[in-house]
Amino acid sequence: MTSAAPKLAVLVKGWPRLSETFIAQELVALQEAGHSFDIWSLRHPTDTKRHPLHDRFNGQVHYLPEYLFEEPERIAAARTIASRLPGYGDAYRVWRQDLRRDPSHNRIRRFGQACVLAAELPQETQALYAHFMHTPSSVARYASIMRGLPWSFSAHAKDIWTSPDWEKREKLQLATHGAAFGATCTAIGAAHLRDLADDPERVELIYHGLDLSRFPAPPERNIRATNAPFRMLSVGRLVEKKGFDRLIEAFARLPKTLNWHWTHIGGGNLAKMLSAQADAAGLSERITWMGACDQPEVIAEMRNADLFVLPSRIAEDGDRDGLPNVLMEAASQRLPILSTPVSAIPEFIETSVHGVLASDDPSALATAITDMAVNPIRTAGMAEAAFDRLIADFRMDPGIRRLSKRLNALCADGL
């Protein structure tokens, strides 16, 4: 059980979030490893469902003011308390410097949230740990300066590739009130951050891995007959970097002889546009849009599918996937995988060995889908290899042990 006065404060963008199962998995594992912490969330939940994993977290969840104007009395009281803290002047100076380079409402909101965090944290708090290097880390950094506490972060994908280098560099250098350490979940991300850090050793590669205890053993999969229906599944938000617009274009190029169906799980701001794209291409009868689903529903669909497709690409603003946990989840069910060689995906999937990594060009995707459909024995062999790789190299436990060691040292530094 967690103590009444947690030593660690964990900041997240929102809690709970269906699309961030990797965070819930990590936090539950850290709690089970003996860490005492509460969650401080920058936003209230918007998902109507939650994973069973979220219910295993037994600490408190505190919600910072999502918009400052909605809680003026809380903001005013926090600002009064924060302004009396020894580090407030330094935090205000750092924030003003950041604001000059990023004159946005979001930057103002971050400082207000930091004042609330610094004012409301229990006196026993020894350290802060933020998930994502952009907004949550900014709030953690400002609050840590006010309270004189060490802080750390875990970086993922969008936060690495869309944040300006000046901000990442200052969050990675102790001379500018940077983090005591930063964890990141891909080798490509770790290399980038180490180039910006004053000490590369403070950036640690820690794959999320998969907690296999949350997943059933893979089903017994018979080799699919080449003339049988070919059931494809994708799980991911309907946003630009997931590449589903190009996948729909690829579906329109599949041979008429292939009897296929595609199921999509996930919400996102491109839902109407992509549905209209499918309608215009005459594909709607072959597509099922399931919307946001919880983990048991996702697993059930994986066990019934013949191919998992994730056509990730780099968005116009530079946003991209890291190493999506959903690929490991598919591998856990021996579901064959088709994806793209974007970012860290090749760190798990070697093409033609553990799955197929094709270009995100619609013609290339269509060719890859067809090849995997008409070569079921080879496709099944790659799924078996991906399952073996998951078991050998991408379990959750090793990463949790390393992160736990880092967090224990961080809290000791804050004594």
What are the tens digits of pLDDT across the range 148-195?
Answer: 999 999 999 999 999 999 999 999 999 999 999 999 999 999 999 999
**How does DSSP classify residue 221?**
P
Alpha helices, H only, 183-323: 187-196, 244-251, 271-280, 295-304
CA dihedral 235, 236, 238, 241 (to 10 degrees): -130
Q: What is the mean pLDDT of residues 213-217?
A: 94
Q: How many residues does the chain have?
A: 415
pLDDT digits (tens, 9 = 90+) for 310-348: 999 999 999 999 999 999 999 999 999 999 999 999 999
> Does residue 59 surpass a pLDDT of 70?
yes
Residue written as token pair 């969650």: 39
The tally of CA atoms less than 13 A away on the side-chain side of residue 173 is 12
What pLDDT is stored for residue 49 in this prediction? 85
pLDDT digits (tens, 9 = 90+) for 179-188: 999 999 999 9
- At 340, list the tokens: 């793209």
What pLDDT is stored for residue 3 in this prediction? 45
Binning pLDDT at 50, 70 and 90, where does residue 48 land? confident
Binning pLDDT at 50, 70 and 90, where does residue 232 land? very high
The letter for the amino acid at 44 is H
What pLDDT is stored for residue 2 in this prediction? 42
Summary mean pLDDT of the chain:
95
* Torsion sign over Cα 239, 240, 242, 247: positive
> Does residue 121 surpass a pLDDT of 80?
yes
Report the distance separating Cα 48 and Cα 82, nearest Å.
35
> Does residue 1 surpass a pLDDT of 70?
no
Q: What is the mean pLDDT of residues 256-262?
A: 97
Report the distance separating Cα 251 and Cα 272, nearest Å.
18
SS3 at position 256: coil
Binning pLDDT at 50, 70 and 90, where does residue 413 land? confident
Binning pLDDT at 50, 70 and 90, where does residue 10 land? very high
Please state which of the ranges 40-49, 111-120, 191-200, 356-365 shows the lowest mean pLDDT: 40-49
> Does residue 4 surpass a pLDDT of 90?
no
| Model pTM score | 0.89
Report the distance separating Cα 314 and Cα 360, nearest Å.
10
What pLDDT is stored for residue 328 in this prediction? 97
What pLDDT is stored for residue 5 in this prediction? 60
- What whole-number percentage of the chain has pLDDT above 90? 94
- What are the φ/ψ torsions at residue 182 (nearest 5 degrees)? -130, 135
Residue written as token pair 């000791």: 412
Report the distance separating Cα 405 and Cα 398, nearest Å.
11
What pLDDT is stored for residue 6 in this prediction? 77
Cβ atoms of 53 and 25 within 8 Å: the answer is yes
Please state which of the ranges 26-40, 261-275, 295-309, 401-415 shows the lowest mean pLDDT: 401-415
Higher model confidence: residue 3 or residue 140? 140
What pLDDT is stored for residue 190 in this prediction? 97
What pLDDT is stored for residue 376 in this prediction? 97
Cβ atoms of 155 and 132 within 8 Å: the answer is yes
What's the angle, vertex CA 347, arms to CA 33 and CA 296, rounded to 5?
55
